[in-house]
Structure 1
Amino acid sequence: MCVLGSWSALRIAPQAINHDLARGCGPDDEPAEDADAPAESAGAAAGFREVLANPRLLRFAGAVVLFHFANAAMLPLVGQLLALGHPKASALFMSACIIVAQLVMIPVAAWVSKRPTEAGRKPIFLLAFAALPIRGVLYTLSGNAYYLVGVQVLDGLAGGIFGVISVIMIADLTRGSGRFNFVQGAVTTALGIGAALSTAVAGYVVQQFGYRAAFLSLAAVAAVALVFFWLFVPETNPALASDEPAASKSADAAATG
Structure 2
Amino acid sequence: MKPTIPLLAVSFCAADVQAGAGPFLGIYLQAHGWHADTIGTILTIGAIVGMAVTAPAGALVDALYHRRAVVVGASAMTIVAAALMWLSHGYWPIMAAQIATAVAGSAMGPALTGLTLGMMGRRSFDRQYGRNQVANHAGNIAAAALSGAAGWWLGMSYVFVLSAIFGVVCIASVLLIPARAVHRHYARGLAHEDEKDRSEARAQSVRVLLQNRPLLLLAIALAAFSLGNSAMLPLYSLAVAATHRGLASQITAANIVTSQIVMLIAAMFACRLIRRWGVWWVIFATLATLPLRGLTAAWLTTPWGIAPVQIFDGLGSGLQSVAVPALVVHLLHGSGRVNLGLGTLLAIEGAGGCLSPLLGGWLANRFGFSVAFLVLGGLSVVSLAVWIAQGPAIRRACDSRRDELERMTDVDASALFQ
TM-score (norm 1): 0.83
Percent identity over the alignment?
27
Query: Aligned runs of 1:61-140 on 2, under 5 Å?
Result: 61-115=219-273, 117=275, 119-140=277-298
- 1:52: Cα distance to partner? 2.5
* Structure 2 Cα separation of the partners of residues 175 and 82 of structure 1: 45
Q: Deviations over 1:181-219 (max 9, x none)?
A: 111111111111110111111111112111111111111
Instruction: Give the aligned residue type for 1:85.
Output: T
TM-score (norm 2): 0.53
Is structure 2 residue 365 aligned with structure 1 residue 207? yes
Task: Give the secondary structure class of the aligned counterpart of 1:143.
Answer: coil
Query: Which structure 2 residue ranges, 5 or more long, are not aligned?
Result: 1-165, 403-418
* Structure 1 Cα separation of the partners of residues 216 and 274 of structure 2: 26
* Structure 2 Cα separation of the partners of residues 112 and 237 of structure 1: 22
* Structure 1 Cα separation of the partners of residues 308 and 316 of structure 2: 14
- 1:115: Cα distance to partner? 4.5
Instruction: Give the aligned residue type for 1:112.
Output: A
Partner of 2:343: 185
- 1:117: Cα distance to partner? 4.3
Is structure 2 residue 301 aligned with structure 1 residue 143? yes
Query: Aligned runs of 1:1-257 on 2, under 5 Å?
Result: 1-26=166-191, 32=193, 34=195, 41=200, 43-115=201-273, 117=275, 119-233=277-391, 234-235=394-395, 238-239=398-399
Answer whether contact 2:273 2:282 (CA < 8 A) is retained: no
- Structure number with higher relative contact order (C-alpha < 8 Å, ≥ 6 residues apart): 1
Aligned length: 235
- 1:54: Cα distance to partner? 2.2
- 1:98: Cα distance to partner? 0.9
* Inter-CA distance 120–33: structure 2 relative to 1 (3 Å threshold): farther
- Measured on the aligned residues, the alpha-carbon RMSD in Å equals 2.3
Task: Give the secondary structure class of the aligned counterpart of 2:341.
Answer: helix
- 1:150: Cα distance to partner? 3.3
- 1:20: Cα distance to partner? 1.3
Query: Which structure 1 residue ranges, 5 or more long, are not aligned?
Result: 243-257
Answer whether contact 2:331 2:398 (CA < 8 A) is retained: no
- 1:241: Cα distance to partner? 6.1
Partner of 2:50: none
* Inter-CA distance 152–12: structure 2 relative to 1 (3 Å threshold): same
Task: Give the secondary structure class of the aligned counterpart of 1:139.
Answer: helix
Q: Deviations over 1:48-83 (max 9, x none)?
A: 133223222111111111111111011111111122
- 1:114: Cα distance to partner? 3.9
Q: Deviations over 1:21-60 (max 9, x none)?
A: 111122xxxx74849x88x74x311111332232221111
Task: Give the secondary structure class of the aligned counterpart of 2:298.
Answer: coil
Answer whether contact 2:224 2:383 (CA < 8 A) is retained: yes
Instruction: Give the aligned residue type for 2:174.
Output: A
Instruction: Give the aligned residue type for 1:17.
Output: V
